[in-house]
Amino acid sequence: MASRDIAKPTGRGKLEDDLLARVEKLEAINEIRNLMADYTHYFDTGWEGAGRDAAKVGALFTEDAVWGSVKGGRQGRSKIEAWCTNYGHTAKMSLHIAMNSKIEVDGDSARGSWNGFIPMVSPDGEAFWVGGRYELDFQRTASGWKIARMNFLTAFQTPYDEGFAKTQFFNPAAYEE
């Protein structure tokens, strides 16, 4: 999709221009929701419906994108893809669930947030839960919407059998750097 101004006048009446702008904004929101759905799908691993594809994860980001979490950050599509391959996809199983989306579009940029819940099994077989909030910036490019910045704010990362009331944060041994 080519870059365009959402509220660009068409020469029609104000009502038609307003309606067109609203439709274009809704289309942008839907494209961004689908982008986030692709991210969660391609990041999943270890079960029949998992997308597990680091190259497709990387392709969802702008070339200079920033991805961050408690484990540190990565800048650039290739580094995000490499991290996904060398770290994210080493889990025996992961299911990334993004819910309660809020997206605000402003022309060719947008901001969004989702609550995230991720049941996981580490490479060593430790089952654990991760919960938190995804906060993102998006950019419309010549090839459609891309993620320009993603940050995951971790509310808990806890062993499956203990729960977050007992242990709010822990780091599985397989992921210690």
Write down the pTM of the prediction. 0.88
Look at phi and psi of residue 10 and say left if phi exceeds 0, alpha if psi is from -120 to 50, else beta: alpha
- Looking at residue 5, its pLDDT comes to 53
Task: Please indicate, yes or no, if residue 3 is contained in any of the structural domains.
Answer: no
Domain of residue 164: give its range: 14-175
pLDDT of residue 171: 85
Cα–Cα distance measured from residue 17 to residue 90, given in angstroms and rounded to the nearest whole number: 50
Within-domain flag for 56: yes
Contacts of 126 (CB under 8 A, 6+ apart): 159, 160, 172, 173, 174
Whether 83 maps to a domain, the answer reads: yes
Residue 71 lies in a domain: yes
pLDDT computed for residue 109 by the predictor: 98
Q: What are phi and psi of 51, to 5 degrees?
A: -85, -25
Q: Is there a domain that residue 4 lies in?
A: no
Residues (pLDDT < 50) of the chain are 1-2
Structural domains of the chain, count: 1
Express each pLDDT in 121-158 by its tens digit.
999 999 999 999 999 999 999 999 999 999 999 999 99
Residue 6's pLDDT is 56
Residue 69: the pLDDT is: 66
What CATH number corresponds to the domain at position 18?
3.10.450.50
Residues forming beta bridges with residue 72, ordered by sequence position: 69
Q: Does a structural domain hold residue 44?
A: yes
In this structure, is residue 43 part of a structural domain? yes
CA distances from 167 to 24, 123, 171 (A): 45, 20, 11
